[in-house]
């Protein structure tokens, strides 16, 4: 009896599923015409010599690779200013502003630099600042002491 019931379910189920699959609508043609879900952006126009893009757009979000700052004589404040000026420059290259940033992450080689970094960083956001994380790392490339990566929402 159990085997007969299983065969009946299979006999009904397979043609039903085949019919459902055959009647499924084709993929939306408009979705195929929108192109790739990401676009690499190189604001400097110079050849890219790294294995990553400076920025990538996906929809209305722009993901920015990290921008570094080196301390020089001005310490963490100078390094933060260099990095934030780099972020601002990249945004200007795509007709965006610091107000378009929705999330930033600050990497520091020394958490003792947090106060100096935070003071300079805050000056770039007189209005509503983006969400932010700050963390210490063992090292950064090119003797940098600060690296900032951000995500912007742009039309």
* 86 found inside a domain: yes
* 137 found inside a domain: yes
* 71 found inside a domain: yes
* 27 found inside a domain: no
Q: What is the pTM of this model?
A: 0.74
Distance CA 122, CA 92 (A): 19
Domain that holds residue 51: 36-153
Question: Are 80 and 146 a contacting pair, CB within 8 Å?
Answer: yes
The H-or-E segment that residue 136 falls in is strand 131-136
Mean pLDDT of the chain: 83
Binned at pLDDT 50, 70 and 90, residue 72 comes out as confident
Q: Answer yes or no: is pLDDT of 84 > 70.
A: yes
How many domains, in total, are found in the chain?
1
Q: List Cβ neighbours of 92 (8 Å cut-off, separation of 6 or more).
A: none
* 29 found inside a domain: no
Q: Answer yes or no: is pLDDT of 122 > 90.
A: yes
Q: Answer yes or no: is pLDDT of 154 > 90.
A: yes
Distance CA 130, CA 31 (A): 31
* 19 found inside a domain: no
* 44 found inside a domain: yes
Over residues 127-144, the mean pLDDT reads 95
Question: Are 69 and 80 a contacting pair, CB within 8 Å?
Answer: yes
> Where residue 71 sits, what CATH number does that domain have?
3.30.1330.40
Binned at pLDDT 50, 70 and 90, residue 21 comes out as very low
Residue 143 has a CB neighbour count (10 Å cut-off) of 10
Residue 79 has a CB neighbour count (10 Å cut-off) of 27
Over residues 98-109, the mean pLDDT reads 97
* 9 found inside a domain: no
Distance CA 65, CA 59 (A): 17
């Amino acid at each position: 009896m159990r085997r007969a019931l299983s065969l009946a379910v299979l006999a009904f189920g397979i043609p039903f599923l085949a019919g459902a699959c055959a009647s499924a609508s084709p993929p939306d043609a408009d979705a195929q015409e929108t192109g790739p879900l990401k676009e690499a952006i190189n604001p400097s126009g110079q050849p890219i010599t790294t294995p990553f893009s400076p920025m990538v757009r996906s929809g209305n979000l722009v993901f920015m690779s990290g921008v570094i700052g080196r301390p020089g004589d001005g310490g963490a404040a100078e390094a933060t200013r260099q990095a934030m000026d780099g972020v601002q420059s990249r945004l200007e290259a795509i007709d965006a502003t610091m107000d378009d940033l929705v999330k930033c992450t600050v990497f520091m080689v020394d958490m003792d630099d947090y106060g100096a970094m935070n003071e300079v960083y805050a000056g770039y956001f007189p209005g509503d600042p983006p969400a932010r994380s700050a963390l210490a790392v063992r090292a950064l490339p090119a003797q940098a002491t600060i690296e900032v990566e951000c995500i912007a929402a742009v039309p």
